[in-house]
Amino acid sequence: MPLSEREQRLLDEMERSLYQNDADFVSTVSQRRGAPNYRLLVGGVLIALAGVAAIVVGVVIKQPVVGVLGFIVVFGGALLAISSPRRTDSPVSPVAGPSRGKSHAGFMDRMNERWERRQGER
C-alpha cells in the first residue's frame, strides 16, 4: 500500500533530520564491507578442513591433544575466512587551497546538500 502524501512528507522530514543530526551514525551504519576477498575465504576454508582432519586423526589415535590442536586450527581457519581484508593504502590528506571550496565538506554533508537541492527543484 503506498504512503499518503502526508506520510511521505513526514518520512522525508525524518530522513533529513537523521542525516543532519546523526551523520556519524548514518555513515557508520551505511558503510559497505566491499567485495569479499576470495583468497582469504578459500585459505580459511582449507585451513579449517585441515583442522577437521586433525580432529578426526586425534579421535582415531586416541590423542586428545591432537584433537584440541585440530579445534584450534579450525577456529583459526574460520576467523581467517570471515575476516575482512586489511587496507594497505594510506589515507589521503586533504589539499588546502581556495579551489577546494565545498568539496572539503564530508561525504554526508555533500549528500545532504544534493538532497536539499533536489527537494527544492520539486
What's the mean per-residue pLDDT of the chain? Answer: 78
DSSP 98: T
> Which candidate, 108, 114, 117, places its Cα nearest to that of 29?
108
DSSP 64-86: HHHHHHHHHHHHHHHHHHHPPPP
Contact 50, 43 (CB under 8 A): no
Contacts of 74 (CB under 8 A, 6+ apart): 47, 48, 51, 52, 55
The pTM assigned to this predicted structure is: 0.47
Confidence bin at 77 (pLDDT 50/70/90) = very high
pLDDT of residue 65: 95
